[in-house]
Structure 1
Amino acid sequence: MRELCPALLNKTYFNYGGQGPLPTPSLEAIQASWRRIQELGPFTTDVWPFIGAEVSSTRRRLAELCGVAPHRLALSENVTSGCVLPLWGLPFVAGDRLLISDCEHPGVVAACVELARREDLVIDTLPVQQLRGDQPSTDAGVMDALEQGLTPRTRLVVLSHLLWNTGQIMPITAVAERLAQHPQSPFLLVDAAQSFGQIPVQQAAAAADIYAFTGHKWACGPEGLGGVALSERVLAQGQPTVIGWRSLRDESKADLSSSDPFHHDSRRFEVATSCVPLMAGLRRSLDLLDQEGTGDERWTQIQSRSEALWQALNNLDGVTPLLQVPPASGLVSFQLRHDAPPAEVVRLLGQQGLWIRDLADPSCLRACTHVTTTEAEAEALTTAITRY
């Protein structure tokens, strides 16, 4: 797969957590789909069966990967819209409390803050950023923090499956089971930006109420296409928020007499026209990943590469990995024990063709390893870091 990605042929790339490289066969699949639509006519009776098949096959493929039935999988443009559109349709009442982890992406946090302002809700913090040890201790720490953070009025918990800053995996299934025992049965919203395409997601996606992901990061698909797995109770209780013709059971006419014109499945959270050719590109990228091994096999490869990088960085003077143990995923975050601003280090490394990123909370540098990452690349990054 590495040889199929032009972006990997002229640089040393560690930013899969921001955006994965698009393989050439995936780009060609997008182009072929676009050509086919134009051949059929972009708005003709001949094109609709083709578009319908593209949408249905993509929905089925993503639903299978998430371990849910297709009617529970809504297509989205990105993680943020996948999180926010169903979130804003949940049944809240004034005084309800939102429990949000201290490792959530600013886009999701901002949406929760604005929701709280409009609906007179209260926001509480779930502290997980300080959990830096092995998986059993992390799981125990999360569950302890959850017990302390839950209140009788907690109505929603927001917790990423794989923390985008520290790289820790969260025990989503255990959290969902605990919330089911709470008198309020709080909804569980999971940002899956860093998990989909990298670690096993089926159990977590099936357990969460909102499990939103994108295809353009670890799945190496095109930007502009993702999905969200929704629980049955979200489909039953959630109201559409941003509304368009795809939300409607009958898109052909505006029925002013209908009190419920919307789909009763995940499509009630889809809006309007999307870029259909992107679907062929994402499916092709998923096929290429499958050729690299099963999901578990790829996860093992990613862990092997990230452990080697973590160990090499841990052995350097002046470098401190955020985690006390090798990461369980491909995210390797670390800090330099001097005053060089992380953004400046990123800039200087980029001048050498080495691409990582800096994060603000906590202030650190992050390198991501994938199945396409080589031992030589990890060595090149480690050597370059010694100069700073």
Structure 2
Amino acid sequence: MIQMEVSIIDTILKDLPTIATQSYFNTGGASPIPVCVRDAIVKELQYEVETGRVNQGQRKRFQLYLNMLRNRLSSIIHAKPSELAITNNTTDGINIILWGLHLNPGDEILTTTSEHLGSLAGLSTLSRQKGVSVRFYKMKNYVFDIDAFFSLVAHRTRVIVISHVFWATGNIIPIEIICKRAHEQGIFVLVDGAQAVGSIPVNIKDLDVDFYSFPAHKWLYGPEGIGVLYIKESLLDIVNQTFAGNASFNKHDGTIYYFPSEGSKRFEIGTRFRPSIHGFIAGLTWICEEIGLDNIFLMIQENTRILRDRIIKETAFQPVVMDNSSIITILLPESINCKNLTKDLEVHNIFVREIKELNAIRISVSFFHTTDHIEALLHQLKQLNLKERVQ
């Protein structure tokens, strides 16, 4: 592990009790829950138990904390608070854009075969219901070739939908270059940032991305059921409000005429489980102030390098991608079933994610991993090698 201040290490161990008993390598699925996130959720629930949920002043208080959340998030990804909508998850944000854009039958969307089902499901439904064509780029040998990708752009390509970090393999995609080339051809770029925000630095303005969606419960250590959608300020008026609620407008005449809320907030519906907002804020405060995002990025990078190098040197397995941020994916021989291996590892309190499509396991490497966690995983991988030789 990278050498860090003892106080930071102590904070990590104190606030993530599960890592004392588990070698947890699945933050890409859902992070461990910090104690502070639990406490913030419980505290808000207790407040509502004692004071009620709809008493005078509660809605104003709700909006106050939503604004606090937007402000905190804006400082992390370098966007304006007004450009952020609070959603349910990454998929929710992606669907808001897919269904909100003015797309006609025959228009095309360019994407990849490496996208998460959350994106592919929305694209599939959009294609069936609106007659939009979806064109797919497939990597060769797990290498993303940006020229080959753009060779698929056609005269009716309107949108690119792509992940910042591929969920299954960990490829870091050059979003800034993609946005530059896409904008030169009048194409919008919608990015799935689920595996990026919190694992690598993300500067929305430097990327010049149009739309960017990400969740709380992965690399930001928040609760499930809450996420974020960034919409570039200059593009607000080109995205239709396909859903609307009492948070979507500022003024209403009592009939069908209303004035939309300012900024991306117009894409928020209304009622939300308020304790999740408090939990999200607590998680962000924890990673930003108690540990520090710069420290987190350094620790993730170093832990990934160490584990990747040792897998290569000490086992018979090879990562499918070398230039990765926090995800190491290793292919398994046909004799080893990825799902069965995942279950076997759990018996030893080691948690990874199986990738059935590749017969591989995905190892999410985070800042909280210790030498003991890494040694435990490597030991099991070496045992697999021994079994293979015996067979």
TM-score (norm 2): 0.90
2:179 to 172, 176, 179: 176
Task: Give 3-state SS (helix, strand or coil) of 1:159's partner.
Answer: strand
Task: Give 3-state SS (helix, strand or coil) of 1:249's partner.
Answer: strand
CA contact (8 A) 2:90 2:215 kept: yes
Give unpaired runs (5+ residues) of structure 2.
1-11, 385-391
User: Structure 1: which amino acid aligns with 2:356?
Assistant: A
Specify the alignment match of 1:135 in structure 2: none
Specify the alignment match of 1:106 in structure 2: 117
Give the whole-Å Cα distance in 1 for the aligned partners of 2:298 and 2:189. 28
CA contact (8 A) 2:244 2:267 kept: yes
Give the whole-Å Cα distance in 2 for the aligned partners of 1:216 and 1:314. 30
Shift of 1:293: 4.6
Question: Relative to structure 1, is the Cα distance of residues 204 and 113 closer, same or farther in structure 2, using a 3 angstrom cutoff?
Answer: farther
Task: Give 3-state SS (helix, strand or coil) of 2:251's partner.
Answer: coil
Residue 87 (structure 1) aligned with residue 90 (structure 2): no
User: Structure 2: which amino acid aligns with 1:285?
Assistant: G
Aligned ranges 1:312-351 → 2 under 5 Å: 312-323=310-321, 325=322, 327-351=323-347
Query: CA offsets, 1:311-333, max 9 Å, x none?
Result: 1211244312112x3x4311111
Aligned ranges 1:248-287 → 2 under 5 Å: 248-250=249-251, 254-256=254-256, 258=257, 261-287=259-285
Shift of 1:273: 0.9
CA contact (8 A) 2:250 2:260 kept: yes
Residue 155 (structure 1) aligned with residue 135 (structure 2): no
CA contact (8 A) 1:67 1:202 kept: yes
Give the number of aligned pairs: 373
1:381 to 357, 377, 381: 377
Task: Give 3-state SS (helix, strand or coil) of 1:321's partner.
Answer: coil
1:363 to 338, 345, 359: 359
User: Structure 1: which amino acid aligns with 2:87?
Assistant: S
Query: CA offsets, 1:174-227, max 9 Å, x none?
Result: 111111110xx1111100111111111113686222200011101111111110
> Which range moves more in the overlay, 32-41 or 71-80?
32-41
CA contact (8 A) 1:14 1:355 kept: yes
1:166 to 169, 179, 202: 169
Give the whole-Å Cα distance in 1 for the aligned partners of 2:300 and 2:286. 16
Specify the alignment match of 1:119 in structure 2: 130
Task: Give 3-state SS (helix, strand or coil) of 2:329's partner.
Answer: strand
Task: Give 3-state SS (helix, strand or coil) of 1:87's partner.
Answer: helix
TM-score (norm 1): 0.91
Residue 6 (structure 1) aligned with residue 4 (structure 2): no
Give the whole-Å Cα distance in 1 for the aligned partners of 2:210 and 2:159. 10
Shift of 1:295: 2.6
CA contact (8 A) 1:129 1:166 kept: no
Question: Relative to structure 1, is the Cα distance of residues 9 and 204 closer, same or farther in structure 2, using a 3 angstrom cutoff?
Answer: farther
Give the whole-Å Cα distance in 1 for the aligned partners of 2:136 and 2:269. 31
Shift of 1:46: 2.6
User: Structure 2: which amino acid aligns with 1:310?
Assistant: R
RMSD between aligned residues: 1.9
Give the whole-Å Cα distance in 2 for the aligned partners of 1:47 and 1:205. 38
